[in-house]
Structure 1
Amino acid sequence: MMRPLVGVVCDRFFLGEHDLHSAKHSYVRALMTGANVSPVLIPATRDIETFDSYLDALSGLLFPGGASNVEAHRYGGQGSADMLVDPDRDHVALTLMREAAARDMPMLAICRGFQELNVAFGGKLHTDIHACGHSADHLEDLAEDLPTRYRYRHEIDISPAGILSTLANAPRVRVNSLHRQGVAALAPRLVVEARAPDGLIEACRVDGHTFALGVQWHPEVMLEHDALSLALFEAFGASCRGYRYSTQRAAHQEA
């Protein structure tokens, strides 16, 4: 059986004089091994004005983490000179989220993607959660090597009767959450799935959507030894397969 195609939104940045579109291999690998789907990279460019050709071909979307932050003007906030932004990714990700939600297409949003999910549906962000008094447990130390950097940072309290509650089968788990921005005001369409001990929202879902989940941490790097991380990607893959089946069935009935 052919694997469903799942779009992965790229970052756009310069390496020397080269203008690049990229996605970390950890996300691609997690989709292939955990979700059992075939990743398709979607370039980050404002040259894309309509996304129907992508959405018609895909069965799901992954919005990965990234080094940049969502532009502050998109949620009515104030940016800072040292804040790395990616306007092209913002354009692609925020538009795709709204259009995919209208189709009930499965979505998994991680770290920056989690923040995009909130902004896409009208929420607001803290530009710097640590300046707002939230715990340093969320803070990334770039001087650390990657395995150390992506270790468990803190616990989260999981809301009952949500997607994560079903997958984790526990009220509290540890996560490897690393971020500078965070939810200041949750979008009206979103429902809290989990919070950190300091009260910061760490996961949410789109209300009424079959599978549209955002998490602030990095399950893509923990598939081999973290049960919730693997369960999350497996559930996302199953939802993508269900979506492909339903759309193919609908197309067959119309033919």
Structure 2
Amino acid sequence: MLKNQKSGKPGKPVVLVPACNRMVGDHPFHIAGKKYIDAVRLAGCLPLIVPSSTPEELDELLALADGVLLTGSPSNVHPSHFDETVHNPALPLDAERDAWTLPLVPKALALGMPLFAICRGFQEANVALGGSLHQAVQEQSGLNDHRAPEGQPPEIQYAEQHQVLVLPGGMLAELLGREAFAVNSLHGQGVKQLAPGLRIEAVAEDGLVEAFSHAPSPGFNLCVQWHPEWRAASNPVSMALLQAFGQACSNYQSSKHGLEPET
């Protein structure tokens, strides 16, 4: 338990952030995108980057944590986890990340621990709970190409690309009070079959699922296909989501330590 040394009260809520796995030259590295770490700090929380985890370590990590943020990544969830073969071998995979983030999702939800999942994390959550993915959204009849324009600088790749339509009665509608808003779009894969227990929170204009939550779980959880962490400080929607996540992490921390939640 991390405490404020002066007051004895718990410090900032700790949020687990998974690292991805890359080869840099001849050596393997664990890496995490800075924009996700910045987003955790914007939420008022303390980021803890986790390189990987054994089953035993996973329980210990969850005991330390007050929230989980599943990041986006260039890599895809291996399709063997939803009983398919690889559609495009040229696209990157990250089996080491799959091995511990897929078990992490149901464990965190069962604890009522706040979960915020972005892009690959959104896809991980669906697969972890029994759903499946389109491996190439752009090849599906009736769906648009949701990939970022190739060869462009980040300012163009992360620019707003389309509207998402918020479904009434869900968490996203309550948090934002909006029926629609514009988002960026940088993904080639997307939800094919939604996992049992998941509630659609928003869809793209072509009907592709853009946000969902796990309604049966007791705590805050929200999974989004777009990238709210991109320049989040200047985006009112992103800040509303991060502040709600951060408050949920703070409340979870207080509850875990027998303290009154902040209001």
Matches within 5 A, 1:85-100: 85-100=93-108
Match of 2:125 in 1: 117
2-side partners of 1:58 and 1:69: how far apart? 25
Match of 1:223 in 2: 232
2-side partners of 1:208 and 1:187: how far apart? 12
Candidates 14, 38, 41, aligned match of 1:29: 38
Deviant stretches of 4+, over 2 Å:
none
Structure 1 gaps, min length 5: 251-255
Candidates 3, 22, 25, aligned match of 1:13: 22
Match of 1:64 in 2: 71
1-side partners of 2:139 and 2:252: how far apart? 41
Match of 1:173 in 2: 181
- Give aligned pairs, total: 246
Match of 2:109 in 1: 101
Matches within 5 A, 1:1-255: 2-33=11-42, 35-44=43-52, 48-50=54-56, 51-79=58-86, 80-133=88-141, 134-136=143-145, 138-209=146-217, 210-249=219-258
1-side partners of 2:81 and 2:230: how far apart? 29
1:115-160 CA-to-partner distances (Å, cap 9, x unmatched) read 0010010001001101113212x11123010111100010011011
* Mapped contact 1:27–1:220 kept (Cα < 8 A): yes
Aligned-residue offset at 1:74: 0.3
Aligned-residue offset at 1:163: 1.5
2-side partners of 1:188 and 1:57: how far apart? 29
Write the letter of the residue equivalent to 2:244.
A
Give TM-score, length-normalised by structure 1. 0.93
Aligned-residue offset at 1:91: 1.1
Aligned-residue offset at 1:15: 1.1
Question: The residue matched to 1:220 in structure 2 has which SS?
Answer: coil
RMSD (Å) for aligned C-alpha atoms: 1.2
